[in-house]
Amino acid sequence: AQSVTQLDSHVSVSEGTPVLLRCNYSSSYSPSLFWYVQHPNKGLQLLLKYTSAATLVKGINGFEAEFKKSETSFHLTKPSAHMSDAAEYFCVVSGGTGNQFYFGTGTSLTVIP
Amino acid sequence: NAGVMQNPRHLVRRRGQEARLRCSPMKGHSHVYWYRQLPEEGLKFMVYLQKENIIDESGMPKERFSAEFPKEGPSILRIQQVVRGDSAAYFCASSPRTVNEAFFGQGTRLTVV
């Protein structure tokens, strides 16, 4: 079985400070992991993905995530938050025979000017 | 290469009417997924289809909901006799034969009045 837990439903940071959005996964297989971002009333945009290559994955807009198998984590980070980063972020796991993408419940990021 | 196209973007239906949501996958993608997003919630898997086949419909309500992905044309998510609780954003995603990433459409926002 596969699942994803996003540990924080809301995160608030000041503009220019680091961002950390936490994600833990559970998978019986070697997982593929993704982070998607959703701006208000918009679709989902892929930020980055891990598919068993380098454990530190760089994505768009300065985001990156590190796959840590020992901790079953795939936390999303950014060194310096920008106002435009305010959005909903989803951690997603896929893999195995089900061929589904399993979504976390999302983390709402607020950036304070 | 156009992205995943969903239409309509917004759909208003009265209780008891039928709603038809369309999804055209990206060119060359043979896997389609439908997800539902209720207000303030994450995306819930509904159904996974390949051309002319339903692979996994474990997330679909047993009544009133159906999905198809014909040999030609878009995938259709059909909701019969809509009720207020069906109001949500419905997202479609597609992926290529070798699944390692899902590309999402902009979603259809269904409002039942």
pLDDT in tens, A51-84: 877 889 999 999 999 999 999 999 999 999 999 9
Considering only residues A32 and B6, tell me which one the structure prediction assigns the higher pLDDT. Answer: B6
Is A8 an interface residue toward B (CB < 8 Å)? no
Average pLDDT over residues B14-29: 95
**Coil vs helix vs strand at B86:** helix
* Residue contact B107–A34, C-beta within 8 A: no
* Residue contact B55–A32, C-beta within 8 A: no
* Residue contact B56–A100, C-beta within 8 A: yes
CB A6 within 8 A of CB A25: no
Q: Which residues of B18-29 are buried (b: 16+ CB within 10 A; e: fewer)?
A: ebebbbbbbeeb
A-to-B residue pairs, Cβ atoms closer than 8 angstroms:
52
Of residues B107, B100, B61, the one with CA closest to residue A42: B107
Max distance between CA atoms of chain B, in angstroms, equals 41
CB B49 within 8 A of CB B69: yes
Is the alpha carbon torsion for B4, B39, A92, B61 positive or negative? negative
> Where residue B30 falls among pLDDT bands split at 50, 70, 90?
confident
pLDDT value at B100 more than 80: no
DSSP state of A55: S
In chain A, the residue whose alpha carbon lies closest to the alpha carbon of B50 is: A99
Chain B partners of A34 at a C-beta cutoff of 8 Å? 101-102
Predicted pLDDT of residue A98 = 54
- The answer for residues whose C-beta is within 8 angstroms of residue B58's C-beta and 6 or more apart is B45
pLDDT value at B73 more than 70: yes
In chain B, the residue whose alpha carbon lies closest to the alpha carbon of A99 is: B99
Q: Return the residue in B7, B104, B108 with the most chain A beta carbons within 10 A, the one to mutate for interface testing.
A: B104
pLDDT value at A37 more than 80: yes
CA distance to A12, A13, A45, B7, B22, per residue, from B70 (Å):
45, 46, 26, 17, 12
Considering only residues B23 and A99, tell me which one the structure prediction assigns the higher pLDDT. Answer: B23
Kind and range of the H or E run holding A26: strand A23-26
Note the pLDDT tens digit of each residue in A10-34.
999 999 999 999 999 988 777 889 9
Query: Within 13 Å and on the Cβ side, how many CA atoms surround B98?
Result: 1
**Coil vs helix vs strand at B60:** coil
Pick the most confident of A91-95, B19-23, B27-31.
B19-23
Predicted pLDDT of residue B79 = 98
- What is the Cα–Cα distance from A23 to A8, expressed in whole angstroms? 9
